Structure 1
């Protein structure tokens, strides 16, 4: 994959002007040049820059990082992993390491980083502080066409597998009265957020019925009639048309007058929606805490 300096800026968060200075002063990257003298970078450059970004956010000065070999940079990133304080740590090392493992299609490394994070923070905090920002990063890379669909599927399926396993291992708790029905609308296949909500709710003792992705509306009607849940819980990721989302939520509210409806998704999509009174929006993972405490 080839990247421009603007691509690296978007992905790493390091300004293009800063990158040019680092290249000139410290030779941290050695881009190729096109016939028109435009810098181009490859996957190795991106991996190195993400590791450099990790060290900079961990307190290193670029003048010192510039003296390190690639192997030494990797060693110092690993030391940073093991030195962090769970309560105060910037999770950038984990996020960047997952991006690199995804680009390399390195399942062993991806699982190692995931396991390291869950051991240090627990699954709930890992999902909110590491996986959610990681998925946002993947979405950004997708938007500039700098990640292959295979990379996204590779990472998503590992995370899904971890969540399914964690749900299966939950210890039974005295069930709370509220029962949640969790589903994704027809055409929606991005399941990680819904799986995490299912894990979190079950870990707090709530009863859940999980329908998963791409649920036809009539199938939803039949399930609600059968089990009569207290609350419906859904996500919007793929559908970015606010009017279509509003129409769907209005249909939910009209069809299910006895259920409270909770809707999660990106803040960009949910902000400004015209919604029925009984529909509650959850624009960030941590807002699920409010639902649990009600």
Structure 2
């Protein structure tokens, strides 16, 4: 493991582990489970070892061990007990904790070893839905609360993206279904968060659909040329940060006028920004989805 020193406030630990600060204080005082350093103004400060220990304690507690019993375990016994339970418990919870540690330490070896263990018993799609997607959602919240830096988020995103691209590469030689439909996957201007869209591309390719992945920050006008090459087009886009909420209805209206020029053309949308729009009225050939899984199931 990389020896990168990281200090955490009690609020950071609450955000990273999901354990309330009040509970952490009780565990410290009653069971002596953590020994924080304190600043000159008596503010708690935790090191990386404390964060890792708290993740392990949380895992054991969530899998049925009472805190009083965990407190009786020695420092070296806790990770041993975690490995023992992880072998028969919900592997996703343990994997998410391990990937959090990999992110905090910028530890590539831990990331790949965790993934290697998962892929031995799960499909890549299962790993994405049950481990990567919940982790990415959580990481997005951590970044917004300043618990982690953009470097941490980028480290995790890049490694997950590499796995998606690797799996797409493995199925590129599959012949598309002879139904004539072409799925054009793109992100709107200024949008750069492409992991969800990449995974949709992988899922549709796996199902035998012809896909064209255009990626991030694609000007709307640049998509018009595609109608010259393909008759039956389904556009798919993912709004994570852009367009701004107040501009989404206008964007969809402009898209409809500019690109929905054939009766067969469809537009599918998803992403957290859409959830913020109230009373969005759409024509029948434009649909929104609240999850990747629901969108993929329509194909």
TM-score (norm 2): 0.88
Find the aligned partners of 2:232 and 2:109 in 1 and give their Cα distance: 40
User: Match for residue 232 of structure 1?
Assistant: 235
User: Match for residue 83 of structure 2?
Assistant: 78
Query: Is 1:119 the equivalent of 2:120?
Result: yes
Find the aligned partners of 1:247 and 1:238 in 2 and give their Cα distance: 16
User: Match for residue 148 of structure 2?
Assistant: 147
Q: 1:279 to 1:62 in 2, by over 3 A?
A: same
- 2:239 and 2:273 in contact (8 A); partners too: no
Q: May I ask how many residue pairs the two structures share in their alignment?
A: 288
Shift of 1:174: 5.5
Where does 1:1-294 land on structure 2 (aligned, <5 Å)?
Answer: 1-84=6-89, 89=90, 91-170=92-171, 172=174, 175-177=177-179, 178-239=181-242, 241-257=244-260, 258=262, 259-266=265-272, 269-270=275-276, 272=278, 274-277=280-283, 278-292=285-299
TM-score (norm 1): 0.89
Q: 1:76 to 1:271 in 2, by over 3 A?
A: farther
- 2:192 and 2:217 in contact (8 A); partners too: yes
> Secondary structure of 1:159's match?
helix
Residue range with higher mean Cα deviation, 97-106 or 2-11? 2-11
Find the aligned partners of 2:232 and 2:190 in 1 and give their Cα distance: 23
Find the aligned partners of 2:229 and 2:97 in 1 and give their Cα distance: 45
- 2:204 and 2:296 in contact (8 A); partners too: no
Shift of 1:105: 0.9
Output one character per residue of 1:53-108: Cα deviation in whole Å (capped at 9) or x when no partner: 12222222222222334443223333333223xxxx37221111111111111111
Output one character per residue of 1:190-210: Cα deviation in whole Å (capped at 9) or x when no partner: 111011101111111111111
Shift of 1:261: 0.8
Q: Which runs of 5+ in 1 are unaligned?
A: none
Provide the aligned C-alpha RMSD in A: 2.2
Q: Which runs of 5+ in 2 are unaligned?
A: 1-5
- 1:3 and 1:40 in contact (8 A); partners too: yes
Q: 1:125 to 1:105 in 2, by over 3 A?
A: same
Shift of 1:122: 1.1
Shift of 1:270: 4.9
